[in-house]
């Protein structure tokens, strides 16, 4: 039962505003290419986050333990940027901004800066109260808020899919040629792969608090909770995607928020809009609680002199201030950081999952450092290039790589860098240090 409740808690932490509004638009825009597109979205929006949870459970307690394998600088800079991107820089203020713009404004008509400020002060005040004691987060999320969210989502999805009869049209331009790759990139926008690296510490600490002993029981419990949350996420994404497929005139909607609002109105009348507003508020609130908890716990570990509660207040206040400025202001600040973080984050996850296969044969030293730095440098260069800060001719340095036009050009160089690092590690016959917290070491506890 504890695993089930923990899985529900993790699902609710993942399932925020982006997770709610992106899948319906895939259903609309992918049209007849829906299945490859939604499977691509599930690949980056579900499978990668679950793999991130597994990677953390196998390697240590948090993303800092894993990132330090990339060297001292990478081990400090990457976790801080990752937590800030899912904290006060982007994902956390987004929960408040989206709640106000998609749940409050359509019903009340309030759209002033003052109304936004009042709402976000209340919203993040509640989130702060729910995250005040991190050891009770499983009870507040897993036992109460998440079941309510899931029930409301199931009602909306079931009524929409069974009563609407719109037909899928031709895919839009971006989904026409490579729907799966486009769906994969859309899944990036949920930020769940990066968030999973942070949320894992909440899962591990929760299970430990509930009595799971170190070693195999804790590792297994974390993996099962991650898999359970991923399964529920996939089911919800499929359902929400189908709403986009079956709603009539889906192409008229600019994003998934008004689409789902209309779906609720068409299937349940005026009360449906209230139900949709509750779905948005619950989805954003549960994610906000998870983000405040995980980011505050992380910064408390690197600055023990500043308490968890102090960090929680700082992030709640900062997020309320940013969210008051609106979603566009939040996105403008965050977009370059998000784009930069994904390649090294995905590389880190996969190397951590591959490492146990070589345990006892060699210790991954350069197999971490070389590919992670290649990913970071390639990603940073691509971001700067995309922002127009370099001359057009400078694109030749990265445009040679396959899939660079899909923002996946980093994959081949990172794979080659990993192979080179692995060959060097085998040649040097490195052994794991005494304090190694790998899968084998933890399972032996």
Tens-digit pLDDT profile for the chain (445 aa)? 788 888 888 888 888 777 888 899 999 999 899 999 999 999 999 999 999 988 888 776 578 888 888 999 999 999 998 888 877 777 888 889 888 888 888 888 888 889 999 999 999 999 999 888 876 665 666 667 778 888 888 999 999 989 998 887 889 888 988 899 889 888 877 778 888 887 787 788 888 888 888 778 888 898 999 999 999 999 999 999 999 999 988 888 888 888 888 898 889 888 888 888 888 888 888 888 888 988 898 899 889 999 999 999 999 999 999 888 876 666 666 667 777 888 999 999 999 889 888 877 888 999 999 999 999 999 999 989 988 888 888 888 999 999 888 778 999 999 999 999 999 999 987 777 766 655 455 544 4
Residues 6+ apart with CB under 8 A from 337: 81, 84, 85, 89, 90
Kindly tell me the sign of the dihedral angle through the C-alpha atoms of 194, 196, 202, 204.
Answer: negative
Question: Of 224, 196, 193, nearest to 62 (Cα)?
Answer: 196
* 184 vs 319: CA distance, rounded Å: 28
State how far the Cα of 190 lies from the Cα of 242, in Å rounded to an integer. 18
Q: What is the pLDDT of residue 212?
A: 84
- CA 222 – CA 225 distance, rounded (Å): 5
Asked if residues 290 and 141 have their Cβ atoms less than 8 Å apart, the reply is yes
Q: What separation in angstroms does the CA of 294 have from each of 84, 441, 442? A: 11, 25, 22
Work out whether the CA dihedral 101, 103, 108, 113 comes out positive or negative.
Answer: negative
Length of the chain: 445
| pLDDT at position 327 | 65
- Comparing CA positions, the residue from 78, 77, 11, 2 lying closest to residue 49 is 11
The CA–CA distances, whole Å, from 318 to 94, 104, 310, 325 equal 12, 21, 12, 11
pLDDT at 225: 92
Query: What is the pTM (predicted TM-score) of this model?
Result: 0.84
Helices vs. strands in the chain: H and E counts, helices first: 23, 0
List of domains in the chain: 2-331 (1.10.4160.10)
User: In this structure, what token pair is assigned to residue 33?
Assistant: 């290419």
Burial of 173 (0-12, 13-18, 19+ CB in 10 A): exposed
Query: Token pair 């895919």 is at which residue?
Result: 171
């Amino acid at each position: 039962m504890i695993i089930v409740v923990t899985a529900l808690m993790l699902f609710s932490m993942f399932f925020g505003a982006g997770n709610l509004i992106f899948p319906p638009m895939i259903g609309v825009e992918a049209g007849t290419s829906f299945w490859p597109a939604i499977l691509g979205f599930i690949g980056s929006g579900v499978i990668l986050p679950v793999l991130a949870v597994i990677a953390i459970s196998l390697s240590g307690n948090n993303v800092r333990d894993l990132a330090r394998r990339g060297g001292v600088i990478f081990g400090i800079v990457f976790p801080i940027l990752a937590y800030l991107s899912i904290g006060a820089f982007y994902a956390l203020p987004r929960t408040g901004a989206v709640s106000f713009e998609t749940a409050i404004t359509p019903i009340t008509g309030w759209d002033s800066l003052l109304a936004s400020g009042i709402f976000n002060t209340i919203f993040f005040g509640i989130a702060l109260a729910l995250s005040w004691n991190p050891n009770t987060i499983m009870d507040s999320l897993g036992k109460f808020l998440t079941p309510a969210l899931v029930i409301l989502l199931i009602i909306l999805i079931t009524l929409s899919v069974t009563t609407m009869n719109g037909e899928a049209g031709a895919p839009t331009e971006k989904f026409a040629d490579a729907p799966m790759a486009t769906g994969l990139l859309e899944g990036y926008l949920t930020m769940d792969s990066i968030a999973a690296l942070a949320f894992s510490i909440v899962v591990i600490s929760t299970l430990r608090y509930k009595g799971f002993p170190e070693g195999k029981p804790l590792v297994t419990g974390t993996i099962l909770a991650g898999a359970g949350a991923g399964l529920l996420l996939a089911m919800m994404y499929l359902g929400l995607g189908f709403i986009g497929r079956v709603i009539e005139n889906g192409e008229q909607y600019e994003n998934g928020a008004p689409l789902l609002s209309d779906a609720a109105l068409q299937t349940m009348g005026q009360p449906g809009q209230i139900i949709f507003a509750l779905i948005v508020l619950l989805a954003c609130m549960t994610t906000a609680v998870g983000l405040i908890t995980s980011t505050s716990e992380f910064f408390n570990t690197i600055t023990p002199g500043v308490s968890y509660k102090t960090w929680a207040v700082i992030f709640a206040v900062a997020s309320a201030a940013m969210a008051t400025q609106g979603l566009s202001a939040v996105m403008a600040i965050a977009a370059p950081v998000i784009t930069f973080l994904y390649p090294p984050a995905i590389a880190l996850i996969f190397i951590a999952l591959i490492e146990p296969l070589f345990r006892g044969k060699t210790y991954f030293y350069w197999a971490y450092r070389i590919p992670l730095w290649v990913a970071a440098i390639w990603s940073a260069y691509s971001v700067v290039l995309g922002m127009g800060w370099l001359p057009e001719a400078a694109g030749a340095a990265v445009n040679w790589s396959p899939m660079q036009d899909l923002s996946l050009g980093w994959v081949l160089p990172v794979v080659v860098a990993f192979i080179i690092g692995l060959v060097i590690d085998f040649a040097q016959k490195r052994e794991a240090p005494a304090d190694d917290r790998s899968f084998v070491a933890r399972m032996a506890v």
